[in-house]
């Protein structure tokens, strides 16, 4: 069973907060970005590698590759999975990735979305994905950084 120490939704993927705060708090030594577009975008990968802490490896896998390879992880790998949106997390869970909890960190406001928490904007499809994740037994948490209190997940469903 892979040691998944954090699963985070953040549309910025790997950046300063993830690299400097979350990884240290959860003890991650592998940052796995599960994202179809980034898995083939060497430029974005290079930018994210610059933000990653020196002690952590990075991987940029498609959703399908993540599902197919996660169970081959070494016991020494403490994995932080970072996804851009709840749809990708749901695909991972439905594909058998053993995710028990999802940290909802940053979902930018865009057309068709409504702001529901400090750094979280959702549309109806996002809400449906969060509901499905809950139905599958996945705990949800809205928390930007480790040293701030979690916001109520009830905000997602209003």
Q: Are 6 and 83 in contact (CB under 8 A)?
A: no
Q: Does residue 15 have an active-site annotation?
A: yes
Q: Where are the beta strands (DSSP E) in 11-125?
A: 30-34, 57-61, 78-83, 101-106, 114-117, 120-122
Q: Where are the beta strands (DSSP E) in the chain?
A: 3-10, 30-34, 57-61, 78-83, 101-106, 114-117, 120-122, 139-142
- Which entry of 15, 71, 78, 108 is annotated as an active-site residue? 15
Q: Are 7 and 104 in contact (CB under 8 A)?
A: no
Report, as residue numbers or ranges, the catalytic residues: 15
């Amino acid at each position: 069973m892979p040691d998944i120490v954090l699963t985070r939704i953040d549309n910025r993927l790997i950046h300063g907060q993830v690299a400097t705060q979350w990884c240290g708090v959860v003890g991650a030594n592998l940052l796995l970005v599960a994202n179809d577009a980034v898995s083939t975008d060497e430029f974005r990968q290079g930018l994210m590698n610059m933000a990653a802490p020196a002690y952590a490896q990075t991987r940029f896998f498609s959703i399908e590759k993540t599902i197919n390879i996660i169970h081959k992880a070494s016991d020494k790998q403490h994995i932080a999975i970072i996804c851009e949106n709840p749809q990708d997390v749901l695909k991972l869970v439905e594909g058998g990735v053993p995710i028990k909890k999802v940290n909802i960190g940053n979902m930018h406001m865009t057309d068709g979305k409504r702001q529901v928490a400090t750094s979280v904007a959702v549309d109806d499809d996002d809400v449906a994905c969060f509901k499905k994740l809950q139905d599958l037994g996945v705990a949800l948490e809205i928390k930007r950084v480790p040293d701030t209190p979690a916001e109520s997940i009830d905000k997602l469903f209003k």
